[in-house]
A and B are shown apart, each in its own frame.
Chain A
Amino acid sequence: MNKVLLIIQREYVTRVRKKSFWIASIIVPFLIAGVYAIPVYFILNSNDTKTVEIIDESGLFKGKIKSDKDITYQFINQPFEQAKKQLHKSDADILVDIPKDVLTNPDGVKMVGKKSIGMSTQFDIQGTIQNELRNIKLENAHIDLKILEDNKVSVNAQTYTIQEDGNEQSSSSTGAMILAGVFGMILYISALLYGSQVMNGVIEEKSNRIIEVMISSVRPFQLMMGKIIGVGLVGITQFLLWGVLTFTASTATTKLMSGKIEEKVQTMQKTGKTKDDIAQFKKDFKDKNPLSGISQTIENVSLVKLIICFLLFYIGGYMIYSSLFAAIGSAVENSSEAQQFMFPVTIPIILSFVLGQVIIQDPDSNLAFWASMFPLTSPIDMMVRLPFGVPNWQIALSLTLLILGFLGTTWIAGKVYRVGILMYGKKPSWKEISKWVFYKG
């Protein structure tokens, strides 16, 4: 046992010491924080108000088009050609010309900008004119706008899950979806990333020819398990670093952002925006902030349960796949030879990731249930289901099957490994590798 610890230590230390480990550990959280900060940044900065001058030749719109937080509309009385020439000198950013016959010829509206007009601004202005035009047409047809307004119904259902004690709990399915996606992604990447690290480690020992010295000191199974556990711990270390750094970076960004939001709210107050506007802005901000939904989900499912399950499924899934990768590594002599054998092992990983996309849509389907029970797909697919709430017995059953699964695969992998590491010179076939399982010590 002491020797396995030595091997674990070596595998761990040599990897954690590498520059690439630290680069990945530091860059990823900043990417995540960036993904989180960018939408927030845009919410805050998209609000530089544009001034639009309207020449209303039809005379239909005066007093009807109202400025909003993005665009201030001003009506001017000038011929279009003249105003166009003066646009550069005026404060306005955009000039809009509404022709006399706009009711019959809505395509006649012209728009001129100082700079090129952004797509969303263009759509905003078009939308405003379009709305008014519609209202005018409806009025002309003697349709009461009030009645029409009342008919616009929007359903915004609140979703709840019924707890076993009968209590309702609000659930944010968007948050759960995001969290499920994140779990699926992390497990998918780590199965491939750390699994192939194990494989390359085995190939390295074999092609370096140190393997024979090693297994004259330790049993092949000890060497294999030491490597698998060592690399697995590297993975866990990386997750922890990512977690801590992401948390720190996001907190810092939030702090920074909330300062900015306060500033923004203050300027909004000064510029005489209504309370509703400010409330709308705050709500917008909250809606577009991806973290708020996630924290809601975490409250529902319980953070501790999520973390424990994540670790258990990560360990189980990692053990299954990395032992298979170790077996492949033992059978070949270089990475390019390994490609051919990797394919059948990566298929279930990819499959469970693809299934995960389907399961997110319907986390209680039969497919979801079975995918989260089968040991080769359960690590990813159970974690995808978990944020939506899974009964405890299913988690327990899935974990039991997973443990049996990894005992089975490590046993088989150990057998293949033991024979494979001493085989040189010829590329084995699947048939041959399967025979190795039954070789005697």
Chain B
Amino acid sequence: MSNILEAQHVVKRYAEHTALNDVSIEVPKGSIFGLLGPNGAGKTSLIRIINQITAPDEGLIILNGERLQPKHIEDIGYLPEERGLYKKMKVGEQLLYLAQLKGMNKGEALERLKKWFIKFDIKDWWDKNVEDLSKGMQQKTQFIATIVHEPKLIILDEPFSGFDPINANLLKDEILELKERGTTIIFSTHRMESVEELCDHIALINKSKVVLHGAKKEVKNRFKDDSYLIEFVGNLPETNNTFEILATEPLEDGITKAHIRNIYELPVNQLIGNLIQQVELKAFNENIPSFNDIFIKVVGGEANDLL
């Protein structure tokens, strides 16, 4: 799979601080790419550079194999975190205007917009003033504005913030549908459950640097600590020479749940063999870290040297 977007050694400095310090990421074509990081890490700075709102001090951005240039504006759809609309304009007029600014001609834009209005069942909004719309309605309008020109790359900055659950779900479905059609989506967030659900690649930025980067599975594997979640009936001895008990929790019907670590790196079969000699094993699962765990671990400073 080739990359639709590459950032190579991007540096962005402001007067008092460095917003991006030697940042390199690769976004594979057709993926949903999560740009993660705490507030102020530099996510928005990177997104603004990709959108050509600002220029990097050093480094390169490659889009579709070409150096980023003004014509690429039409290939990108951007929904910023701080999003708004012209309040005094009519919905249809406004969307038409924004679509034309993205390089579409009027007729084409009108056709596409009509389709979206039918799809979202909002035909009667066309002549409404934006200020008369509810917040959820405005969000739909903004989303249409982001994607109406059918960009190859869509960048959503904290897309779920401020969305009610219904609109959030709608957005999720649309993101998946767009992916199906081959669109690449970058979204920045610090909400890990949506990363878990949607992303197949991630980059974690902390303190202006990329500290974690890769396919979701691969990243998770890197954070596996050879620990397992087991459920059993019986008594597990506190001390033994095959594993360490990290936590236990009694469940119903005399079943206990435990989190154990394979301290001597035994083959899994051998570990299970040891366990069944001591207890009646009901369940055995490898503990795959959640992105929430990884995020906290990395941003907490424990794994800064992992890459």
Contacts and interface: CB of A to CB of B under 8 A. Distances in A.
Contacts of A7: 101
Report which residue of B82, B83, B87 has the largest number of chain A beta carbons within 10 angstroms of its beta carbon.
B82
Given A210-B86, A216-B51, A216-B80, A6 B57 contact: no
A209 B57 CA distance: 26
Given A216-B53, A422-B53, A435-B15, A6 B97 contact: yes
Given A6-B97, A6-B101, A216-B76, A441 B84 contact: no
Contacts of B86: 14, 204-205, 208, 210
B53 A212 contact: yes
Given A6-B101, A422-B53, A440-B57, A216 B73 contact: yes
Contacts of B152: none
Contacts, number: 63
B83 A441 contact: no
A352 to B, nearest CB: 33
Contact of B73 (A6, A212, A217, A440): A217
A213 B53 contact: no
B156 interface: no
Contact of B102 (A204, A217, A422, A441): A217
Interface residues of A, number: 25
Contacts of A424: 82
Interface string B70-83: 10010010111011
A216 B97 contact: no
A136 B6 CA distance: 108
Nearest to B53: A215
Contacts of B51: 216
B55 A440 contact: yes
A212 B82 contact: yes
A211 B84 CA distance: 8
A49 B70 CA distance: 80
Contact of A208 (B57, B76, B79, B85): B85
Contacts of A215: 53
A264 interface: no
Tell which of A208, A212, A219, A435 has the most Cβ of chain B within 10 Å: A212
Contacts of B101: 3, 6-7, 214, 217-218
B55 A208 contact: no
A210 B97 CA distance: 13
B256 interface: no
A216 B83 CA distance: 12
B145 interface: yes
A205 B55 CA distance: 22
Nearest to B85: A210
A210 B84 contact: yes
Nearest to A436: B15
Interface string A197-211: 000000011001111
B52 interface: yes
Contacts of B53: 212, 215-216, 422
B98 A213 contact: yes
A208 B98 contact: no
Contacts of B79: 213
A441 B55 contact: yes
Contact of A213 (B57, B88, B145): B145
B54 interface: yes
A3 B51 CA distance: 17
Nearest to B88: A14
Interface string A213-249: 1111111000000000000000000000000000000
B89 interface: yes
A50 interface: no
Given A14-B88, A214-B101, A216-B51, A209 B76 contact: no
6 contacts: A204-B87, A213-B78, A213-B80, A216-B51, A216-B53, A422-B53
Nearest 3 CB-CB pairings of A with B? A209-B84, A441-B55, A208-B84
Interface of A: 3, 6-7, 10, 14, 204-205, 208-219, 422, 424, 435, 439-441
